Amino acid sequence: MIGRTEAGMTEVDRRVVPTRTRVWRAESSSVLVATVVLVLLIGVLRPAFLTFGQLKDVLNGSVYVALLAAGMAFLLAMREIDLSVGAMFGLSLISTALLMRDGFDPWLSCLAGIALGALLGLANALVVRHIAIPAFVATLATMQLYRGLAVALGDGQQVTGLPLEHSFFSVLGGDFLGLPVSVWILVVVTAGLTVVLRWTPFGYRVRSIGSNPDAAAFSGISIPRTRLYVLVLVGAVAGLAGVLGLAFFTSGDPNIGVGFELQAIAAAVIGGTPLRGGVATVVGAVFGAVLLGVVSSGLVYFSIPANWSSFATGLVVLLAVGVDSALRRRQRARESMLGL
């Protein structure tokens, strides 16, 4: 008889996990290889693309979607999706800008913006828990609420008149060791979230729920509580992205962040986090965002209208999903050969 271990995993499950881990690593590394190849290909055709300044701009422009994608990886690992991350990004940015314009200390306003993101994530979690609807549906509604609130607070106009001479803008909007500070923050956040997802009990619970919700619940894991923590985490990351966006753009646009939620999901999927749940890669999600940034910038170098950016993104996602499907078929064939 097959014995059941922690989080409801059987001994068979434990033999399957190494195979899944290898597939996950292959998907995660393949997006990095694809990004490098694409950069070199564009560089061969348009040498100016390979200048340090241009590559730095691509990285800097990818930071915000990359942060959202890093948080989205946690949700996808649980078979959940948050469609409000772009709106939370925009509302946090606008709110932080309004506080600064009204005379509040920029650094305290920065903390308030991150806290607001966490509170918005908590609101999402409470809606999901108490109305008993899927996160996809709940965040579809809150996306409209948060977006409408951002437009209303900004009166439909850009928030300007900020204290640009303050250290907040020179530090978070500046460079360190040749790279934007926002890129270094992305590296730190990516490393931290990777540790949380892969080597902590919380990350284990997240992956267990996505792998087998019934077994996870049977083993004593609280799915509602874990979902709440993840949604709050995603909100806080969106708030951080909004604060960094304000430091870079130096003004608040009520329409900023539109479409970021779909880009974040696309980046996570491209990076090797499958929609079926159970496994995820924060690093891969970040690389996926960078790949989308390279695609978007490459279109500009070839004088292709910006309207084609969404088409190119969709094509990249289709290719990534196709590769994921092929890897899953290969995994099932291998498990079948092993008799699992």
Lowest mean pLDDT among 172-176, 177-181, 255-259: 255-259
Count CB-CB contacts under 10 A for residue 339. Answer: 7
Helices then strands, counting H and E runs in the chain, come out as 13, 2
Q: Give pTM, 2 decimals.
A: 0.85
pLDDT, one tens digit per residue, over 120-133 is 999 999 999 888 88
Give burial (CB, 10 Å; 0-12/13-18/19+) of 331: middle
How far apart, in whole angstroms, are the C-alpha atoms of residue 2 and residue 67? 41
In which region does residue 312 sit, left (phi positive, over 0), alpha (psi from -120 to 50) or beta (all else)?
Answer: alpha
β-partners of residue 175 are 180
Q: Mean of the pLDDT values across residues 146-170?
A: 87
Is the confidence at residue 338, as pLDDT, over 70? no
β-partners of residue 180 are 175
Q: Mean of the pLDDT values across residues 72-98?
A: 92
Structure tokens belonging to residue 194: 């990777």
How far apart, in whole angstroms, are the C-alpha atoms of residue 182 and residue 172? 6
Nearest to 294 by CA among 270, 273, 269, 265: 270
175-176 and 179-180: which strand pairing? antiparallel
**Angle, CA 178 vertex, CA 176 and CA 182 arms, to 5°:** 50
3-class DSSP state of 252:
strand
What pLDDT does residue 243 have? Answer: 93
Domain residue spans of the chain: 21-38+50-335
Is the confidence at residue 249, as pLDDT, over 80? yes
Q: Mean of the pLDDT values across residues 56-71?
A: 91
pLDDT band, very low/low/confident/very high, at 335 (cuts 50, 70, 90): low
Residue listed under structure tokens 């729920």: 209
Is the confidence at residue 281, as pLDDT, over 60? yes
pLDDT band, very low/low/confident/very high, at 334 (cuts 50, 70, 90): confident
Is the confidence at residue 337, as pLDDT, over 80? no
Q: Mean of the pLDDT values across residues 291-317?
A: 77
Phi and psi of 256, rounded to 5°? -70, 145
For 47-69, b/e burial (b = at least 16 CB within 10 A) is: eebeeeebeeebbbbbbbbbbbb
Is the confidence at residue 134, as pLDDT, over 70? yes
Which is more confidently placed, 336 or 294? 294
pLDDT band, very low/low/confident/very high, at 23 (cuts 50, 70, 90): very low
Third-level CATH fold of 21-38+50-335: ABC transporter involved in vitamin B12 uptake, BtuC (1.10.3470)
